[in-house]
Structures are given as C-alpha cells and as structure tokens.
C-alpha cells in the first residue's frame, strides 16, 4: 500500500503488476491479520477477488512477477504462508454469492 493510495487502488495496481490484468471489477472478501501468518514479519492482507474469463485476458507476468499462469482451483501448486486459507475463504465467498459450486 503506497502512502497516496487507498486499498482498492492498491489492489488494482498489484493485480496489474503481478499479472498484467487491468480493468477487472475487484471485490474485497476478507482480511488476514493473524500475527504469525508470515514468518518474515507482521503482515496484514486485504484479499480481493474478481470473476474474469481466462480467454478474455492476456495473462503475463509484469513488473513484480517472474511468471504468471492460470491454475484449476482444485489443483493448485503449493502456496506460501496462509495462502491456502485465503483461497478457501475466496471460494466460500463465491459460493455465498452463487458464483461457484461446492
């Protein structure tokens, strides 16, 4: 989070920097602040989700990432820290909104 931006602007900027994706309608779905969630130090995350069609987006690593790729949510690679918990919270948020089956 840059000193001059709000959370929504930060989420849009980070999405673009990590994946090259722009213009997605982002929705916050959770805060993650457990003191021990990142062994490198205290980290607080506000997580966002967006529903986009993969075929409509050219996914490419941008300034902050070495690579970017799509994964089936049921077959994700190993994730860092508590990111598996964040994914499960995102899936729950989508189910509550009627956007994803159990």
Task: Please give the positions annotated as active site.
Answer: 67
Residue 63 contacts by C-beta under 8 Å, 6 or more apart in sequence? 17
Provide the token pair at 1: 């989070």
C-alpha 51/C-alpha 28 separation (Å) is 12
């Amino acid at each position: 989070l840059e000193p001059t931006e709000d959370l929504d602007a930060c989420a849009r900027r980070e999405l673009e920097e990590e994946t090259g994706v722009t213009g997605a309608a982002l929705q916050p779905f959770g805060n993650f602040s457990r003191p021990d969630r990142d062994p490198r130090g205290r980290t607080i995350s506000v997580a966002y989700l967006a529903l986009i069609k993969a075929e409509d987006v050219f996914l490419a690593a941008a300034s902050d990432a070495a690579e970017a790729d799509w994964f089936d949510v049921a077959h994700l690679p190993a994730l860092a820290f508590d990111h598996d918990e964040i994914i499960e919270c995102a899936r729950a948020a989508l189910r509550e909104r009627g956007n994803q089956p159990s």
